[in-house]
C-alpha cells in the first residue's frame, strides 16, 4: 500500500485553482517526501508521476505545464480549524522543479513551511494514494480526503454551503444554483467515493432561515465491502504501473533481516542500488531495525546513504578477526602436534624390533610408577594408554633430535 500521512491542515484548504491532476501530484510529492525524510531536494521518476497522475505519457510538455501551475499556487491551511495548534499560514506548493533531460528523473523542492507540515504533522490522516489515483473527479478527491479526516471523530462539523464550496474548490460562478451543486458536485463525488473507496458517506441538509438550505452535515462510516489490497491491484493494472522492483532477485539473507511489514515495492526500490555490497546493506537494515522508532523508510534511506552501521561493522570485523585468529592458532597447534606425532612414530618404526619392545616396556614401567601418584578415572584404560603414547612421543622426539 502506498500510504501518506497527510496533515489535516493541508486537507482543509481553500484552493480553487487546483486541477484533478495537480491534486494527485501533490499527494505523490508528499509520498516521496515522507519516504525520503527531510531533504532540501527530492528526486523521483517522471514516468511514475505520469502513471500515478494520469499525465500524457508521450511527451513532457503537459507534465511541465502541471508543475508550472503548481509553482504559482498558494495554500492557506486549516480552514475548519481542526488543528488547534496551527497558526495562520500561507505557502506555495512548490519552490522549484527541474527535469533532468534524457534521464527520466526530476528534482523538486518543497517550501520549508509545507515540508515541516508534511514531515511533522500535529494531526494527520493516513491516505492510500493508489486508491486516490483511481478517482476521476477532483471533487471526489477533495471530499474523500475531507471525510476520511473525520472518519474516527465523534461527528463531522456542520458546514455552510459556502464553506463546502470553498473546501471543494468549486470555481467562482460555477454551479450557482444549489440543485446543480447537489447533482454535479456533491452527488457525483459521493457516488464515486461510495463505489471506489474504503468509506461510505451520506448527508443531511439543514435549513436555518426560510426555505433555503443553508448548511450540510455528512455522516461517514467504514465501507465494509471494500478490499484495500484488491483496490491497490486494480489501480495498478488500470494505470499500467510496471515500475516496481522484482523482489525475487533479493538474496535470502536480505529478506531474512527485512521486517515483514516493509517487504514492499518502495523499500525494494530503495535497497536495490546496494545489492552489490550485501555487508553494507544487511548491516544498515539491522541498524534501522534496532534504532528507528518512526518513519522506517526515510530512516533506512539515510542509514544506507550515510552508512550508519559502519562502526558496528568495524567492531564486528575486529571481533570476528580475534575469533578467527584464535581458531587459526588452535588449528596450527593441532597440525604441529600431528606432525610431531608422525615424525616420532616414523622414527620409532625405524628402530630395531628389540629396541622397540624395550622402549615400550620402559614407557609402561614409568606409567606404572606414575599411577601410584596420579589417580586416573577407574576403568579408563584409554586415558592411560594415551598418556603412555604421549610420553613415548616426547621421548622419541628427544632421541630423534639428540
- Residue 204, SS3 per DSSP: strand
pLDDT, tens digit (0-9, with 9 covering 90-100), for 329-373: 899 888 888 888 887 777 778 778 887 787 778 777 776 766 666
Domain 3-238 falls under CATH 1.10.10.10: yes
Neighbouring CB atoms inside 10 A of 75's CB total 20
From residue 283, how far is each of 245, 286, 299, 310 by CA, in Å?
21, 5, 14, 8
8-state DSSP, 106: E
pLDDT at 60: 64
* C-alpha cell read off for 155: 461527528
- Please give the Cα distance from 206 to 211 (Å, whole number): 10
Query: Strand 90-92 vs strand 74-76: parallel, antiparallel, or unpaired?
Result: antiparallel
- Please give the Cα distance from 28 to 51 (Å, whole number): 11
- Residue 329, SS3 per DSSP: helix
Lowest-confidence pick of 64-68, 128-132, 259-263, 395-399: 395-399
From residue 75, how far is each of 12, 70, 116, 260 by CA, in Å?
10, 10, 14, 38
Q: Facing residues of 125 across strands?
A: 6
pLDDT, tens digit (0-9, with 9 covering 90-100), for 258-274: 988 888 767 887 888 88
171 burial via Cβ count (<10 Å: 0-12, 13-18, 19+) = exposed
Query: Does the pLDDT of residue 166 top 60, yes or no?
Result: yes
8-state DSSP, 222: E
* More confident position, 266 or 129: 129
Mean pLDDT of 221-230: 73
Cell numbers 488543528: residue:
83
- Please give the Cα distance from 117 to 113 (Å, whole number): 6
Smallest Cα–Cα separation from 235: which of 185, 198, 267, 184? 198
Map out the domains of the chain as residue ranges.
3-238, 249-308, 330-401
Could you tell me what percentage of the chain is helix, strand and coil, using 3-state DSSP and rounding each to the nearest 5? 55, 15, 30
- Please give the Cα distance from 285 to 279 (Å, whole number): 10
Helical packing angle, 381-401 and 353-370, nearest 10°:
130
pLDDT at 354: 80
> Which helix (H) or strand (E) covers residue 127, if one does?
strand 124-128
Query: Does the pLDDT of residue 281 top 90, yes or no?
Result: yes
pLDDT at 244: 40
Mean pLDDT of 229-233: 49
Dihedral (Cα; 264, 268, 270, 272), 10-degree rounding = 180
pLDDT, tens digit (0-9, with 9 covering 90-100), for 98-128: 988 777 788 999 999 889 888 888 788 889 8
- Residue 76, SS3 per DSSP: strand
pLDDT at 89: 77
Query: Does the pLDDT of residue 308 top 90, yes or no?
Result: yes
Amino acid at each position: 500500500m502506498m500510504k501518506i500521512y497527510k496533515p489535516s491542515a493541508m486537507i482543509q484548504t481553500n484552493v480553487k485553482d487546483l486541477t484533478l491532476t495537480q491534486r494527485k501530484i501533490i499527494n505523490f510529492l508528499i509520498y516521496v517526501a515522507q519516504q525520503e525524510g527531510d531533504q532540501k531536494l527530492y528526486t523521483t521518476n517522471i514516468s511514475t508521476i505520469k502513471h500515478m497522475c494520469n499525465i500524457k505519457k508521450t511527451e513532457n510538455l503537459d507534465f511541465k505545464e502541471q508543475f508550472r501551475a503548481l509553482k504559482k499556487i498558494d495554500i492557506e491551511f486549516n480552514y475548519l480549524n481542526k488543528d488547534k495548534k496551527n497558526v495562520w499560514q500561507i505557502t506555495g506548493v512548490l519552490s522549484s522543479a527541474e527535469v533532468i533531460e534524457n534521464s527520466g528523473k526530476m528534482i523538486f523542492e518543497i517550501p520549508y513551511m509545507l515540508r515541516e507540515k508534511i514531515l511533522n504533522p500535529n494531526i494527520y490522516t493516513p491516505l492510500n494514494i493508489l486508491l486516490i489515483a483511481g478517482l476521476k473527479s477532483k471533487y471526489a478527491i477533495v471530499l474523500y480526503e475531507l471525510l476520511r479526516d473525520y472518519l474516527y471523530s465523534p461527528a463531522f462539523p456542520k458546514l455552510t454551503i459556502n464553506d463546502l464550496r470553498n473546501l471543494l474548490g468549486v470555481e467562482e460562478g460555477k454551479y450557482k444554483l444549489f440543485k446543480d451543486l447537489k447533482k454535479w458536485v456533491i452527488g457525483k463525488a459521493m457516488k464515486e467515493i461510495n463505489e471506489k473507496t474504503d468509506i461510505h458517506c451520506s448527508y443531511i441538509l439543514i435549513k436555518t432561515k426560510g426555505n433555503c438550505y443553508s448548511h450540510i452535515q455528512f455522516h461517514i462510516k467504514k465501507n465494509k465491502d471494500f478490499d484495500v489490497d484488491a483496490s491497490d491491484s486494480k489501480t495498478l493494472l488500470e494505470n499500467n504501473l510496471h515500475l516496481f522492483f522484482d523482489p525475487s532477485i533479493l538474496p535470502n539473507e536480505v529478506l531474512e533481516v527485512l521486517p515483514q511489514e516493509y517487504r514492499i515495492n518502495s523499500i525494494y526500490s530503495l535497497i536495490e542500488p546496494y545489492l552489490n555490497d550485501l555487508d553494507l546493506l544487511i548491516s544498515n537494515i539491522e541498524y534501522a531495525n534496532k534504532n528507528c522508532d518512526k518513519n522506517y523508510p526515510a530512516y533506512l534511506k539515510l542509514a544506507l546513504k550515510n552508512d550508519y552501521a559502519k562502526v558496528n561493522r568495524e567492531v564486528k570485523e575486529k571481533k570476528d578477526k580475534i575469533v578467527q585468529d584464535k581458531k587459526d592458532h588452535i588449528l596450527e597447534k593441532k597440525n604441529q602436534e600431528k606432525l610431531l606425532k608422525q615424525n616420532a612414530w616414523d622414527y620409532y618404526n625405524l628402530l630395531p624390533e628389540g629396541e622397540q619392545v624395550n622402549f615400550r616396556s620402559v614407557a609402561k614401567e614409568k606409567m606404572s610408577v606414575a599411577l601410584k601418584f596420579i589417580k586416573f578415572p577407574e576403568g579408563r584404560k584409554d586415558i592411560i594408554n594415551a598418556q603412555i603414547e604421549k610420553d613415548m612421543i616426547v621421548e622419541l622426539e628427544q632421541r630423534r633430535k639428540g
